[in-house]
Amino acid sequence: MKCLQIRVENFRNIDCAEVEFVPEVNLFYGNNAQGKTNLLEAVFYGTIGKSFRDNHDKNLIKFGEELFSIHLEYTSDQENARTQTVDFRVMDKKKQILHNGVYVRKLSDFVGDFRTVLFCPNHLSLIKEGPAERRDFLDMAISQLYPNYLKALQKYSKILQQRNKLLRDAKENREKYRDILNQTLEIWSDQLAAEGAVISFYRWIYIQKIDVHVRNVFMVMMEGNERTEVSYSPSFGQKVLEQVVSELEKPDETDQRRFQAVKTAFLQKVEDLYKKQFKEAKEREIGAGTTLYGAHKDDMVVLLNNREARLFASQGQQRSLALAIKIGEGEISKQVTGEYPIFLFDDVLSELDHTRKEYLLRHIEGKQVIMTSCEPDVVQNRDIRIWHVEQGTYRLEE
Ligand code: ATP
Ligand code: MG
């Protein structure tokens, strides 16, 4: 997959900019606070209709303006692939999306078509950060590959909000909300369990793929024989998960019929587990005024030599593991969709030591990269296009 061009208007500090990319390395360099990350953020926005550093679209609109727009042109790596376009026009609470000029009703109908893998300095602390960061990573990566995942996530978050509101109300005034609690809590719980099971399924299969890639990448990158293991940790516990999946076949995506059978069996079992958990936790949840179990409490656990890397690995090892996870994300995208996504590096090369930087550069050879840096010579490559960035403008270097 290649990004050919972007046109941006009223996005962050960018008034109006048009940039054509080369299929190899595209470098944007300049001083701090000039608009390097802003441009990368605009490309990334085209992937999932959301920024990677702000959940509120409003903050992305240029100060004093009403809306921003992003126009992207991209193409698949297949022979004779046609150029595709996506347009986002975003106001405070409204988002319009056009794919190849045709209005897209739901974001989930588009997401997955224009795929990127983002590396930013934050990602290097993916291991030592909390579970929320790891869930964000999973959500961004899995949404691009499985549209049903994004749909389930969106529904889950709406149901969770309603359920939490009910629990909060009941905590404050049990008498007043007794009837509504009796009538609706179970309905919310069942819906949350159903969507949560879908999320769990995709996280479970995705993390198994991550595990394989991290093992390979880490071995080569670190030239050692340290053992890594990445596993899914749902709120009902890893032991229970192991029991559930021990009764299932391995999910094989090359055989859709069997894959669907594994998925159905997994969903049934896990939905029941969530329902049981909600039933048992009812009083505790009312006492807490919030939902204590479910997919919004998931984590991805990384072990190094059988010990939890978050607690025991050195800072350097944690960064290598994080890098291996992000490289794995690109590999999985290739495996599932047949082509590499576009790699976006936000100031990440300068954060890496020589070994890791060399490994990463070797790895991305032949793939499209859009990167930012304060220095123009952060990477030596003969097929590189370099822009100087100043106050939201992008000037091509001769
Ligand atoms: P660094 O090297 O420090 O990472 P950068 O070139 O990547 O710098 P950006 O993150 O792209 O910098 O931000 C550039 C500028 O955009 C900042 O000065 C910031 O104040 C400004 N900015 C952020 N949001 C908006 C907005 N909504 N409207 C106008 N300007 C904004
Ligand atoms: Mg920046």
- Domains present along the chain, CATH in parentheses: 1-115+342-398 (3.40.50.300), 124-340 (1.20.1050.90)
- Nearest to 30, CA basis, from 384, 381, 397: 397
What confidence score (pLDDT) does residue 398 get? 79
Ranges of H-type helices in 305-375 = 309-312, 315-337, 354-363
62 lines ligand 1 (CB under 6 A): yes
Taking 50 as the pLDDT cut, the residues of the chain under it are: none
What confidence score (pLDDT) does residue 222 get? 80
Query: Angle formed by the axes of helices 36-48 and 131-145, to 10°?
Result: 60
What confidence score (pLDDT) does residue 381 get? 76
What confidence score (pLDDT) does residue 3 get? 98
392 lines ligand 1 (CB under 6 A): no
What confidence score (pLDDT) does residue 165 get? 97
What confidence score (pLDDT) does residue 14 get? 98
pLDDT in tens, 4-60: 999 999 999 999 999 999 999 999 999 999 999 999 999 999 999 999 999 999 999
What are the Cα distances from residue 159, in Å, to 114, 147, 188, 361?
28, 19, 7, 43
- The enclosing H or E element of 232 equals strand 228-233
What confidence score (pLDDT) does residue 205 get? 97
Classify the C-alpha dihedral 130-133-136-140 as positive or negative: negative
What confidence score (pLDDT) does residue 386 get? 96
What confidence score (pLDDT) does residue 382 get? 76
pLDDT in tens, 342-376: 999 999 998 898 989 999 999 999 999 999 999 99
What confidence score (pLDDT) does residue 380 get? 83
* Ligand 1 pocket, mutate which of 16, 27, 38, 375 (most atoms under 8 A from CB): 38
C-alpha of residue 95 to centroid of ligand 1, in Å: 22
C-alpha of residue 39 to centroid of ligand 2, in Å: 9
> What is the pTM for the complete model shown?
0.95
Q: What 3-state class would DSSP assign to 15?
A: strand
Strand partners, 301: 231
Give the separation between CA 140 and CA 305, rounded to whole angstroms: 28
